[in-house]
Chains A and B, each alone.
Chain A
């Protein structure tokens, strides 16, 4: 029942987003433009790319993610839809899980389009063997961004300056996960073996998912 309710919420969010494409267009345009502008502005050498590719990619994902996450609970404020969801028999944890899954899918789709842009415009040597580990790092890193972002999106939903407040609150919380994802991505794109960052990211994801599921009812109802 829990998973079915979470899936209903996720499907509703994805369906709405496919109709309007508000968050998707803004997020995708932002990430692609940043990657392109950076490559034209600095024309980095292969050694420099080796050093900052992970950082550039995840900073882009983090900022693009804010555009997706800002819309997550904000779309529920219109017409007081959030009240109807809270009054329904859907547990807050299922509501959160559904929203997080939809945000994850949207952000992951943006990342899948942005990654080839980075590889292409920064001349990163890409091999098929990098695909699996890269997907794993992206999955773990994106879930970390999503789970924190979705919880804070719920927390800031009724604030007048939520577009400003969400990034301000979320980025400091994301720093450990971002550093791990950046390091892992840099190692992967440079063809180096990846370190212990995967275990850290996994633990981060589990801990913050549990915390979010436990506290989301307090965040939504008070």
Chain B
């Protein structure tokens, strides 16, 4: 069974097709870099996979189940453009809240563990709004990984992160990968993405123009993929 199966997905915004007959299969344990220029449809596709939006046509299966099913959502983690944290709650309150929403057996313990992991245990009771940008980003990473998701969806995960947050995120992604979790990430940062990825999919004007394993050539020459499969 595939970790993710996208079958003939179309998404229209009015008359404009943001996604056109997208078909993609992601094997369990693989790390897929979803590449494409601005407006190619990466975020739209990830939002549909995350269950945040419904496709106009087609279907999405995550580990064989519908994306909007409660049991599916329990198994996926999402790190989007926003940090998805409440400014008026403290770091530990934010993580405990999401721990409870995900039905974790001991949200307090898990929140403490995650704060330690992202290096924020010293400021656990500080309000999120009082944090620096980098600290907020690390807290957001902790929130996305809190419930140990089997499928992780990352939308431009390295954009605007500071060095420490990038290090935390890279370490956590590597750990997830080693534990056989499936990761789908959209990104512009080709080098970081290709170093982490086992597979690559290139989206262009809402269509997948290439999907397959990452080759050493792609890492050595990051422009090769766009030159070979992208718009001329």
Contact = CB atoms under 8 A, between A and B. Distances in A.
Interface of A: 1, 4-5, 8-9, 12, 15-16, 19-20, 75, 78-81, 83-91, 221-222
A10 to B, nearest CB: 12
Contacts of B84: 79-81, 83-84
A221 B85 contact: no
Contact of B102 (A83, A89, A91, A222): A89
A114 B98 CA distance: 35
Contacts of A81: 82, 84-86
Contacts of A75: 86
Interface centre among A12, A16, A221 (most CB of B within 10 A): A12
Contact of B97 (A8, A20, A80, A221): A8
Given A19-B89, A83-B82, A83-B84, 7 more contacts: A16-B88, A79-B82, A84-B78, A84-B80, A91-B70, A221-B53, A222-B54
Interface centre among B76, B81, B88, by most A CB within 10 Å? B88
B51 interface: yes
A22 B87 CA distance: 14
Nearest to A78: B87
Highest count of chain B CB atoms <10 Å: which of A15, A81, A85: A81
Contact of A16 (B68, B73, B89, B101): B89
B52 interface: yes
Interface residues of B, number: 30
Contact of A79 (B54, B87, B93): B87
19 contacts: A8-B97, A8-B100, A9-B101, A12-B89, A15-B93, A16-B86, A19-B88, A20-B88, A79-B84, A80-B81, A81-B82, A84-B80, A84-B98, A85-B101, A87-B51, A87-B73, A87-B78, A89-B71, A89-B74
B223 interface: no
A83 to B, nearest CB: 5
A16 B98 CA distance: 15
Interface string B171-214: 00000000000000000000000000000000000000000000
A8 B97 CA distance: 7
Contact of A221 (B68, B83, B102): B68
B138 interface: no
A89 B98 contact: no
Contact of B52 (A1, A5, A9, A221): A221
A1 B70 CA distance: 12
Contacts of A16: 86, 88-89
A81 B84 CA distance: 4
B143 interface: yes
Contacts of A87: 50-52, 73, 76, 78
Given A5-B101, A79-B82, A80-B81, A86 B88 contact: no
Interface in B98-126: 98, 100-103
Interface centre among B76, B82, B86, B93 (most CB of A within 10 A): B86
